[in-house]
Amino acid sequence: MDYRIEKDVMGEVKVPANSYYGAFTERARVNFQISGIRAHKEFLVSLATIKKAAALANMELKQLDDKLGNAIVNAADEVINGKFDSYFVLDVYQAGAGTPFNMNCNEIIANRATELLGGKLGQYIVNPNNHVNMAQSTNDVIPTATKLAILSVIENLTFEAEKLKDSLRNNGVEFNDILKVGRTHWEDAVPVTLGQEFESYAIALEKDIERIISAGQELKELGIGGTAIGTGITTHPKFHETIVNKLKVLTRIDLKTSGNLLEQTQNYNCFVSFSSSLKMLAIDLIRIANNLSILNSGPKAGISEIMLPDVEPGSSIMPGKINPSIPECVLMVCFDVLGKDKTVESAVQYSILELNVMCPIIAYSVLQSMRILANAMKMFREFCITGIEANRERCLELLHKSTAIATALNPYLGYQAVSKIVKEALKNNLIIRDAVLKYNLIQEEDLDLILSPEEMTQPREPDKELVSKIKSSESYRKFLQSL
């Protein structure tokens, strides 16, 4: 491989001759060979967008020569369009604050801008520090790029969450007339419809979407222009306002200036808030995926109230076995998101004096969580939720076997009487309905009304005439005397 020699404050550096990155990137590439994981595309686009906005702002404020500035703008556009993706070679685990990321972008844009002005790679007619990085510091560029990147992908994340919510809601409508036993403490509880269960999942996702959108609002306040520690040293007095306005136009996001740039370099709690909203989405997905797997358990020796779509063989040794593979994958993704949320929490906590230096891992963790959550929800919807079938017969069978429906009799017979009915049903292997009829406590047509889905799955005021009729009967008096 051919090399060119570049010099920095530490001496000479051999850089691949045709590379658009330079000495700083090469040193970082050698130093930080940790994971092989590269920055997300959205983060790189946001970096280049900041460089473009800075050049436009500095030209408008008469701080940067138009010839150099326009070359930077044109080079940044090419970076944004992906022309130089292969030259972003740095690991996401790197020097604090993300100086390697910032300089990697600065060097690529400087070399390409130099080329556009007729120079050669490494000649730096456009200088990475003096021109591309003018009025900026890693300390305000990287957190700003992180915010812009997150804001750019919120729409895709919430789109997938909305689609999943709609699918769950559709199931709720389809299954709304299917009465089944509810469960608490792993034990039978009062009846519920299968549709009510699915609607509750849809509502949970609806709240998660609202939280994500709300948390994203705080990310719109930018600290770009604060430079090293937020004092704005080396910038024009109007630079902060000007670059934020440029970024508003370029990103089409309603970005906001900050009232205190010093606070922006120290306090990254906005990332904790946003990551927490992702965590809550993950927690709901864990609950939903786990519940569906439980309700699907079987097919013969489990609950089997619903049937998940078959997507692949479930065992390398047990012929015909089918597992809840899609929900299991969702769980793995969500556990990873929970871990990344803890990483963000720890990284944000590590803010010392005037600067938090952990933004690279914050950016990677949040963006990765958003990506895998969006992909997982798409998979969950397409390969699981939309194909769920209800096992109506099994729901009814388990409901009749359960003693939990006896709770609906409390307003009519009283707790003590119903307790004896449950005991008798268990002792004699009777369903609750038959136990009530055995003692002639309620007429069959009245019992059917009391145990109907409409009566047992929503608030209902007891029929006072029916209560009076039952409790005045001779059969009821005799039953009470036997308690």
Point out the residues that are catalytic.
Answer: 315
Q: At what angle do helices 41-60 and 99-116 cross, to 10 degrees?
A: 60
Of 54, 63, 68, the residue nearest 112 (C-alpha): 68
Cβ atoms of 243 and 170 within 8 Å: the answer is no
Torsions phi, psi for 77 (to 5 deg):
-60, -40
Residues in the chain: 483
Of 358, 369, 331, the residue nearest 153 (C-alpha): 369
**Euclidean distance between CA atoms 23 and 470, whole angstroms:** 91
**Euclidean distance between CA atoms 267 and 93, whole angstroms:** 21
Q: What 3-state class would DSSP assign to 196? A: helix
**Euclidean distance between CA atoms 243 and 50, whole angstroms:** 8
**Euclidean distance between CA atoms 468 and 450, whole angstroms:** 14
SS (H, E, C) 243-311: HHHHHHHHHCCCCECCCCHHHHHHCCHHHHHHHHHHHHHHHHHHHHHHHHHHHHCCCCCCCCCEECCCC
Residue that has been written with the tokens 């076997």 in this structure: 401
Our CA dihedral for 87, 90, 96, 97, rounded to 10 degrees, sits at: 40
Encoding tokens for residue 300? 């013969």
Q: Which amino acid is at 24?
A: F
**Euclidean distance between CA atoms 182 and 303, whole angstroms:** 12
Cβ atoms of 395 and 407 within 8 Å: the answer is no
Helix (H) or strand (E) run with residue 187 in it: strand 187-193
**Euclidean distance between CA atoms 222 and 261, whole angstroms:** 8
Q: Which amino acid is at 82?
A: G
Residue that has been written with the tokens 């939990």 in this structure: 404
